[in-house]
Amino acid sequence: MKLLKNKFFIICLCVAVVICAVPSTFALMGYRGLARNIVGTLTVPFRWCGTVVGNAFEGFGKYFGSMDALREEKEALESENAALEERLEQAELLEQENERLRKYLDMKNSYPSFTMEDGMVISYSAGNYMTSFTLNRGTLHGIKVNMPVVVTEGIVGYVTDVGLNWCMVSSVIETASSVGAYVPRSGATGIVSGDASLRNEGICKISYLDANADIQVGDTVLSSGTGSVYPADLKIGEVIAVEVDEYSRSLIATVKPSVDFTNLRYMMIITGYEK
């Protein structure tokens, strides 16, 4: 048999026979103490091995037990972190909503004669500057074409198309847009309108100014209330350049709108006001 040819097996078998036979022989001869001593001495290596192996298994058990505890702790921390992130996100949303409502109330307090409907942007035109927007308000909310649209910073534009629960808004930098305007510092008047060459820069112009109109860089521009769309004294923007039209010899001023059209989420539609 192959097992009997294995040297390690034969050595172990001989050791086992000696461990069993020698103590038994001494025990029969009356030397029980000597027999116990021999057995104890011969079995020391085996007991040592057993202890080492037992400690190893115990160590493995503790290691894997610690790993399980760490894994559970990690899962608990991840769950707690996810809950904290969700709470933080909710807090941020509440803060944004509070800020929106605060601006709405500020607008109502500043213009008590206005009736307004707040709307959220659901889509917008692509490009360097967004020039038209779609809001989630329509005829179901009393919205009509040509109603002015504003934020607390100033005029956004006006409603150009309406559906049941949506409306399109064209901004003041669009080429088809125009607003009667004046400069409160000097009383100079003109028409603010969009221009194709200026739209991609997010600016517009004031035309129809008198040749001797007092208008300067840095002047604030407000709506004059002329026409049928915008009420008076809403901020349009600030003059950033003034030049003379080479054909009409009248002045043309470039205006930077007070509204940041790249960062609009909520707007207010003015559904009624006292002229």
Q: Name residue, tokens 């008076």.
A: 232
Number of separate domains in the chain? 2
Q: Quickly list H helices, the chain.
A: 7-28, 32-110, 196-199
CATH code of 131's domain? 2.40.10.350
* Statement: residue 134 has pLDDT above 60: yes
Identify the CA nearest to 223 among candidates 174, 150, 169, 119.
150
Q: Please report which confidence band the pLDDT of residue 88 belongs to, taking 50, 70 and 90 as the band edges.
A: confident
139 in the same domain as 104: no
89 in the same domain as 213: no
* Statement: residue 97 has pLDDT above 50: yes
125 in the same domain as 261: yes
195 in the same domain as 65: no
- Better-predicted residue by pLDDT, 239 or 132: 239
Given a contact cutoff of 8 angstroms between Cβ atoms, the answer to whether 180 and 223 are in contact is yes
Among 58-67, 72-81, 147-156, which stretch is predicted with the lowest mean pLDDT? 58-67
* Statement: residue 125 has pLDDT above 80: no
Identify the CA nearest to 224 among candidates 206, 199, 212, 242.
206
Identify the CA nearest to 35 among candidates 49, 57, 18, 48.
18
Tens of pLDDT along 222-242?
999 987 799 999 999 999 999
- Provide CB contacts within 8 A for 42, sequence distance 6+: 15, 18, 19, 22
52 in the same domain as 153: no
119 in the same domain as 98: no
199 in the same domain as 137: yes
Please tell me the distance from the alpha carbon of residue 249 to that of residue 234, in angstroms, as a whole number: 29
Most confident option among 2-11, 125-134, 172-181? 172-181
127 in the same domain as 245: yes
Query: pLDDT value at position 191?
Result: 94
Residue at a domain's end among 110, 143, 163: 110
- Better-predicted residue by pLDDT, 256 or 123: 256
158 in the same domain as 199: yes
Please tell me the distance from the alpha carbon of residue 6 to that of residue 233, in angstroms, as a whole number: 107
Query: pLDDT value at position 25?
Result: 58
Please tell me the distance from the alpha carbon of residue 173 to that of residue 194, in angstroms, as a whole number: 4
Q: Please report which confidence band the pLDDT of residue 93 belongs to, taking 50, 70 and 90 as the band edges.
A: confident
The type of residue at 6 is: N
Query: pLDDT value at position 71?
Result: 78
Please tell me the distance from the alpha carbon of residue 138 to that of residue 187, in angstroms, as a whole number: 37
226 in the same domain as 179: yes
Tens of pLDDT along 244-258?
877 777 889 999 999
- Better-predicted residue by pLDDT, 12 or 124: 124
SS3 string of 199-231? Answer: HCCCCEEEEEECCCCCCCCCCEEEECCCCCCCC
199 in the same domain as 127: yes
Question: What is the four-CA torsion angle of 79, 82, 88, 93, rounded to 10 degrees?
Answer: -130
Domain holding 49, by residue range, is 1-110
Residue at a domain's end among 110, 127, 152: 110
Residue at a domain's end among 110, 133, 166: 110
Mean pLDDT score of the chain = 80
Tens of pLDDT along 155-206?
999 999 999 999 999 999 998 889 999 999 999 999 999 988 888 888 999 9
b or e along 21-44 (b: 16 or more beta carbons within 10 Å of the residue's beta carbon)?
eebeebbeeeeeeebeebbeebee
